[in-house]
Amino acid sequence: MDLSQDGRFALTGSDDYRATLWDIQSGEKLLSLEFGNVVDTVALSPDARLAFTAATLDRALIWDTRNGEVLQTLSDFRSLFQRRMSYLSARFSANGDQLLTGSASGLVQLWDVASGRELKRWRVHKRAPYGPTSTGVYAVAFSTDGYYAIGSNGLINRLR
């Protein structure tokens, strides 16, 4: 779940394969998008005009919260299975121009929202060279000195 900065809207993802945008003040359901699997990750841009929604090994979309129009598809069925990602975290930049995502496989990606183009990518650190083959990315953040990601292994990664 994510809340808008002004506390007016909530975006939820659920086991019923839906992402839903809510007006918190009225309790009204404003929009709902259906997916082919459990919706794991949702994020609202700071102005709540854009949303990111991703389902397990299913579509990952950037969409307009005013009308539900899909603006960018970051992962979908058209590509091979390897391209179908499971995103665990996402955050829009302060101006909404960029999106930072973290995946179950330890991949962090920086996206241009307008074009849907990947700008940069990183892999989070594993605790040791042996052991689990990957570390899930539970949280991502923008900062004045780069980007940050927190892995399922408890490590904070500073990304540049």
Q: Could you state, in order of their start, the residue ranges of all structural domains in the chain? A: 2-159
Residue 7 has a pLDDT of 94
Residue 80 has a pLDDT of 37
**Using one digit for the tens of pLDDT, what is the confidence trace for 47-69?**
999 999 999 988 999 999 999 99
Residue 10 has a pLDDT of 98
Task: Fold for 2-159, please state it.
Answer: Methylamine Dehydrogenase; Chain H (2.130.10)
DSSP string, the chain: -EE-TTSSEEEEE-TTSEEEEEETTT--EEEEEE-SS-EEEEEE-TTSSEEEEEETTS-EEEEETTT--EEEEEE-SSS-GGG---EEEEEE-TTSSEEEEEETTSEEEEEETTT--EEEEEEPPPSSSSS-S---EEEEEEETTEEEEEETTS-EEEE-
Label residue 88 by pLDDT band (50, 70, 90): very high
pLDDT, mean of residues 3-9: 95
Residue 82 has a pLDDT of 46
Residue 117 has a pLDDT of 95
Does the pLDDT at position 16 exceed 70? yes
Residue 5 has a pLDDT of 93
pLDDT, mean of residues 71-100: 81
**Using one digit for the tens of pLDDT, what is the confidence trace for 100-159?**
999 998 999 999 999 999 999 999 988 776 666 678 999 999 999 999 999 999 999 999
Does the pLDDT at position 81 exceed 60? no
Q: Which two tokens stand for residue 24?
A: 């918190």
Residue 75 has a pLDDT of 80
